[in-house]
Amino acid sequence: MLAKGIRLLIDARAEGRAVPAFTTYTLESTRAICEAAQNTGLPAIISAGASSFRGVGRAPLAAAALAAAAQASVAIGVHLDHSTNPGEIAACIALGYSSVMIDGSQLPFEDNIAVTSAVVAHAHPHGVWVEGELGGVGGDENASSDAVAGERTDPAMAAEFVARTGVDALAVAVGTVHGFTTTPVHVDLARLREIRAAVDAPLVLHGASGLADAELAAAVTAGVTKVNVNAELRRAYLGALRAGLADDGDDVPRLQRQAVAAVTHVAEAKLTALATTPHSDTPSAKETRR
């Protein structure tokens, strides 16, 4: 079923877990995400984001994600990730997305507040929750590289940003980068705890690829409620295709099934890891009313 509203994240935080947002580029990955959620009985988010549209187009990928979520037996959100274009955001809201991200992190602080506030004002009447971003998460969303972490989120600025924009969730920069790197990265747990103490909106961790389950658990304990997962699924998908092609096969349905199975396995492991973190929190009165 398509999960509407921020309750998906509020409930996760109250229950001591985080919701993974899995990036999809293909129908195979979309199916695998839904199968993993159904197999584990845990909610998930399909992230059919701005960069994912470049290969197959917005309308086909969005339609597949929304249809798959609607037919699933568990709650699954459909999310627009890392969009910098309010027009694109409005189009995805019109298509039926349950959440959107406006990424103004590269803008000056006041400009980020302005564009995020405008998106919130448009999204909320449609029942769509909004994720904003403050700070710098380095790297490429679609390919691994030797990226370095950007400027980390300031807790006081985060509190002001959430208060002035009314944003529902906040992506924070706490030392991670998009994609795998040759030099290991780690979560700045102390900074994360400071942000959590200053902000009552659910916090989002981008750049979690390659982090050990124990570090992810520590991040959830420190306040993360949504974790973006991309590179690990990409590697599973491409690895399955390479292995199948190496067998001199041109049976496309067989290759597709192998890709679905590989991505499902990785997604199930991530869902389970994020649902078994030892974390206790009580939602604020503001959150309870949402």
DSSP string, 187-228: --HHHHHHHHHH--SPEEE---TT--HHHHHHHHHHTEEEEE
Res 276: pLDDT = 80
Contact 88, 50 (CB under 8 A): yes
Task: Provide the pLDDT for residue 207.
Answer: 81
What is the DSSP pairing of strand 19-23 with strand 99-102? unpaired
Q: What is the pLDDT of residue 178?
A: 54
DSSP 183: S
Concatenating the DSSP letter of every residue in 97-110 gives: -SEEEE--TTS-HH
Q: Global pTM? A: 0.87
pLDDT averaged over 10-residue windows placed end to end, the chain, 290 residues: 93 94 96 98 94 90 96 97 94 97 93 97 97 72 48 92 97 75 76 94 88 88 94 93 85 94 96 76 37
Distances (CA, A) of 94 to 2, 62, 89, 91, 237: 15, 11, 9, 5, 30
The helix (run of H) or strand (run of E) holding residue 262 is helix 252-275
Do 141 and 51 touch, CB atoms closer than 8 A?
yes
Structure tokens at 150: 């950007």
pLDDT at 250: 81
Check residue 21 and give its pLDDT: 96
Break the chain into its structural domains and give their ranges.
7-289
Positions annotated as catalytic residues are 81
CATH of domain 7-289: 3.20.20.70
pLDDT of residue 141: 53
